């Protein structure tokens, strides 16, 4: 399935009040607001075009490397640079153990969490819409997440 269509389907479900984006099978996207249509196009291009990806990351990028220790996590000082960045490709959710959660904080901020519940692992990315379009503004690599009590 075309990744843009898949994301549009997920986004349609995500931005519908009270629905689960992973469960949405609708192909109707005409109800999406413009910021989310723009985000879906950005998201697809971000994973297909490495030059575009590098241009749309606000370096030095706050976040965490993979398997960060508690001292680094607590410091909040880690920053990705163009030299430490690895180009990201789309994750095939059907063939992985990851679940995707997209959280629209506002029309200009979306948080994406890729969670592997059985191992209590998570990747987090935050995207913000700025004057010149959407950008990645935070990236935390694969790390353990605290268990809910």
Which of these ranges, 35-39, 107-111, 139-143, has the smallest mean pLDDT? Answer: 35-39
Burial of 81 (0-12, 13-18, 19+ CB in 10 A): exposed
36 pLDDT band (50/70/90 cuts)? confident
- CATH of 3-144 given 1.10.357, 2.60.120, 3.10.450, 1.10.287: 3.10.450
* Res. 22: pLDDT tops 60: no
Map out the domains of the chain as residue ranges.
3-144
Judge whether 26 and 12 are in contact, CB under 8 Å.
yes
Q: Which two tokens stand for residue 28?
A: 């109707």
Instruction: Write out pLDDT tens, residues 40-72.
Output: 999 999 999 999 999 999 999 999 999 999 899
d(CA 123, CA 127): 13
Instruction: Write out pLDDT tens, residues 79-137.
Output: 999 999 999 998 888 888 899 999 999 999 999 999 999 899 999 999 999 999 999 99
Nearest CA to 3 out of 129, 91, 135 is that of 91
């Amino acid at each position: 399935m075309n990744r843009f269509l898949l994301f549009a389907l997920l986004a349609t479900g995500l931005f519908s009040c009270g629905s689960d984006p992973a469960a949405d099978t609708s192909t109707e996207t005409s109800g999406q607001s413009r910021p989310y249509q723009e985000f879906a196009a950005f998201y697809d291009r971000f994973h297909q075009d490495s030059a575009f990806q590098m241009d749309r990351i606000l370096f030095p990028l706050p976040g965490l490397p993979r398997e960060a220790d508690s001292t680094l996590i607590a410091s909040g000082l880690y920053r990705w640079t163009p030299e430490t960045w690895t180009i990201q490709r789309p994750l095939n959710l059907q063939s992985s153990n990851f679940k995707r959660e997209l959280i629209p904080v506002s029309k200009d901020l979306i948080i994406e969490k890729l969670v592997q519940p059985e191992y209590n692992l998570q990747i987090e990315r935050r995207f913000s819409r700025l004057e010149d379009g959407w950008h990645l503004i935070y990236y935390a690599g694969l790390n353990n997440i605290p268990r809910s009590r």
